[in-house]
Amino acid sequence: MKLTLARICALQPSYSSENTDEMQERGVLIRRTLPEEIRDRIPELKVSFDSLFDDIKVEGSDGLGRKTQAPWVRIFSEAMSPNPREGFYIVIHFSASGDAYFITIGCGSTIWSGGDLRPMPDAELSSRTGWAKSVILQSIGTISPLIDQIELGSNAALPKTFEKATVCAKRVAILYQDLEDIEGLLLDAAKMLNAIYLAQIDQRDVSPGDQDRAQIDIIARPRTNPRRGQGRGLSAVERRQVELRAMALAIESLEKLGYSCEDCAQTQSFDLLAKRPGESIKVEVKGTTSDFCDSVLMTRNEVELHSLEAGLTALILVSGIKLHKLPSGEFEASGGSAEVNIGWKINDWTLEPVAYQVSRGRP
């Protein structure tokens, strides 16, 4: 494998967008030889993955049509990353000068637009990679040995986007690659990727509104099987524990602001009535195990309430709630971070209908 990696690097300075002899050789190495050599090592790599991810694949690309200056080979779960534009994966990148290659954890960085691949917005890429790095640190405690800065040495748009889509990287200099344990680096990267995949299975990267929307889609289209990479979702018991934890943190946050709270969830179109002298606020509380809370699902009555009283109500979002299964088999929720929005204006958010109740008309 080291010989193949070195030969790809040796061909990099001869880059051309045309299918020259050098680019033909590089294409065979990227699309066939190196992936086959990595596939031979999949049994060892699978030790680092949970049994859920029994579909580890390898593929390489040196460009669609015209040759790219930044070829790559990636290792991925087919369910979690069905194509290079979706999900996370281990990816080997090569510097333009050919002096080094990078073993990295990366994510999809392009989108189809107008029949062509275009870079994903920087803010979205930064959010994705930052989340994945935090998952690795929480699960493993370190990103070592993938601690290097990735620099592919190209000013072209696509290589620059690849750099921005990198969560963490290990630079392997060709002059010193014999000193590196490449199989060991791939094993370390596999452990990190496994942590990210498990967090995605728990939907920690999906806002609660998107989670609920997916469940609505399943109800409306029961014959459509969701992909494994879409997450497992929460049971009714787990959801209840999350709701209770969110309410507890919401009340705690409001009390710190001087409010007394009344639980109205069972009788009103809001969850809490928060009061302090001269002030009474209707509060909606939404809790999630996700690390993100950028969207939530609301009933028609809830939307009408917050629309009619815009700026006079409150929305409290509690994210990052942890669920633990007790020896008794029951679930317990802990942790979480509360975002308190008093004087919330629903019209500052985007409202999108995700389902309709269609009733048979009556004469």
Q: Are the beta carbons of 110 and 176 closer than 8 angstroms?
A: no
Tell me, rounded to whole angstroms, the distance of Cα 106 from its chain centroid: 11
Q: Are the beta carbons of 117 and 29 closer than 8 angstroms?
A: no
Cα–Cα dist 154/70, whole Å = 8
Structural tokens at position 215: 């469940």
Q: Are the beta carbons of 260 and 275 closer than 8 angstroms?
A: yes
The CATH number of the structural domain formed by 2-201 is: 3.30.920
Cα–Cα dist 13/26, whole Å = 11
Structural tokens at position 106: 């990366």
Cα–Cα dist 347/344, whole Å = 9
CA atoms within 13 A on the CB side of 186: 23
What is each CA distance from 217 to 46, 136, 230, in whole angstroms?
33, 31, 12
Task: Classify 184 as helix, strand or coil.
Answer: helix
- In order, the DSSP letters of 2-71 are HHHHHHHHHHGGG--SS--HHHHHHHHIIIIIHHHHHHTTHHHHGGGS-TT---EEEEEES-SSSPPSS-
- In order, the DSSP letters of 133-162 are HHHHHHHHS--TT-BBPP-----SHHHHHH
The CATH number of the structural domain formed by 232-348 is: 3.40.1350
- How many other C-beta atoms are found inside a 10 Å radius of the C-beta of residue 32? 11
Q: How do the domains of the chain map onto residue ranges?
A: 2-201, 232-348
How would you write the pLDDT of the chain (363 residues) with one tens digit per residue? 999 999 999 999 999 999 999 999 999 999 999 999 999 999 999 999 999 999 999 999 998 778 999 999 999 999 999 999 899 999 999 999 999 999 999 999 876 655 566 777 888 899 999 999 999 999 999 999 999 999 999 988 889 999 999 999 999 999 999 999 999 999 999 999 999 999 998 888 877 887 777 677 766 666 655 555 555 667 889 889 999 999 999 999 999 999 999 999 999 999 999 999 999 999 999 999 999 888 899 999 999 999 999 999 999 999 999 988 888 888 899 999 999 999 999 999 999 988 888 888 765
pLDDT on residue 356:
85
What does the H/E/C string look like for 244-293?
Answer: HHHHHHHHHHHHHCCCEEEECCCCCCCCEEEEECCEEEEEEEEECCCCCC
Cα–Cα dist 182/233, whole Å = 36
User: pTM of the full predicted structure?
Assistant: 0.81
